[in-house]
Structure 1
């Protein structure tokens, strides 16, 4: 079966559009999103500018090089952020989870592609409309600055991952980072969901898929983790933290 990978910004048929059935005040991710600083009346104002979109696995919110006309708040699901290198290789730059905002960079065109790893729901705002709201609300601007700082920390962590760590240390750090990011959404569990495939993890960590699979199997045999369908259970988080801190 062919998967439609056209982006929503380039094709109206790549995803479904609808107004929110629940108001912004009832949004599942409002308390962990930049919108959390807005009062109820301000949320109603913001909702008038919003549009809910649903995506299936493999569909794209936007593609690398496309005009950045919208910003998106991820409500449900996970997305893979990729960049196509000049030599044709694909680099996974990161993963977007509920509460993340996409498209806030100042560039006129997207520097990455954003593809759904499974069913995804987002809230979309026109970029200029959203910018006007931000300009009129300094507290929302401060919230965006805090979000930018959080994303900068994630980028610095990624640079460290791709630096001088061993493959095992990279995998351990990745699992703990993903656990912490899910915890921000209220999903605190020793079982960490892995919505991305092992090839995605390998491309993100600068490893081969064989290396990622071998390390997960080794950690499983050592009872540090337990590989389960759709994710891993962190059995010995102290050992994972020691590995990640190496």
Structure 2
């Protein structure tokens, strides 16, 4: 699939389940006034389309060139019964979706712009074992990040610049981030700082 292609739309009949082989999709809902709220990003190895109500609950759109495996729902449901390993993987996928939904509720409702961007970068860098990569690819643009975090594009750009100026990250390209100070970035994401922008270790965010 080419970037910008719609895999499925909110409200469509959920006829298939998809596995992302390579590439990234954005998942979003359109509000009554036409605004877009991105609710997540899905990349290689992840499943999507697991709609319990037989309708897709959001729209899935390709961010980058995309390769997928499609499973017809009846065949996929039979595989769940026949393959214990698939059932465990499905449980993991559903658990991850629930965790992401809970994280985003906190992200949108309680965090400052700096805390939101720091949390977003850490989520992209995180591994299941708790380790983090130093390098983060950003296939999505600043507009996508803004719509996910509930910010303006200008605020996202200023926050990236601020994190770079304060030595927490480097920006080798617009589509990549190097995490230079994981501990400070994690502190910022957790809100360990004063209201005036100074962290409790004496450095500035």
How would you bin the TM-score normalised by the shorter chain?
0.7 to 0.9
Runs of 4 or more, structure 1, over 6 Å off, are: none
1:224 aligns with 2:168: yes
Matched residue, 2:135: 191
Ranges in structure 2 where 5+ consecutive residues have no aligned partner: 192-205
TM-score (norm 1): 0.73
Across the aligned residues of Structure 1 and Structure 2, the Cα RMSD in angstroms comes to 1.6
Q: Find the residue that maps to 1:162 and give its secondary structure.
A: helix
TM-score (norm 2): 0.87
Q: Is the 8 A contact 2:51 2:57 kept in 1?
A: no
What count of residue pairs does the alignment treat as equivalent?
188
Q: Find the residue that maps to 2:136 and give its secondary structure.
A: strand
Matched residue, 1:23: none
Q: Which residue of 33, 45, 53 corresponds with 1:99? A: 45
Q: Matched residues in 1 for 2:39 and 2:59: separation?
A: 9
Q: How does 1:206-221 map to 2 (within 5 A)?
A: 206-221=150-165
Q: Deviations over 1:111-167 (max 9, x none)?
A: 111111111111110011101111233443233122211221111111111121111
Q: Aligned-pair distance for 1:190?
A: 1.2
Q: Find the residue that maps to 2:140 and give its secondary structure.
A: coil
Matched residue, 1:234: 179
Q: Aligned-pair distance for 1:193?
A: 0.3
Q: Matched residues in 2 for 1:228 and 1:64: separation?
A: 36
Q: Matched residues in 2 for 1:143 and 1:198: separation?
A: 31
Q: How does 1:1-246 map to 2 (within 5 A)?
A: 55-180=1-126, 183=127, 189-229=133-173, 230-246=175-191
Compare 56-65 and 213-222 and name the one that shifted more.
56-65
Ranges in structure 1 where 5+ consecutive residues have no aligned partner: 1-54
Q: Matched residues in 2 for 1:120 and 1:210: separation?
A: 28
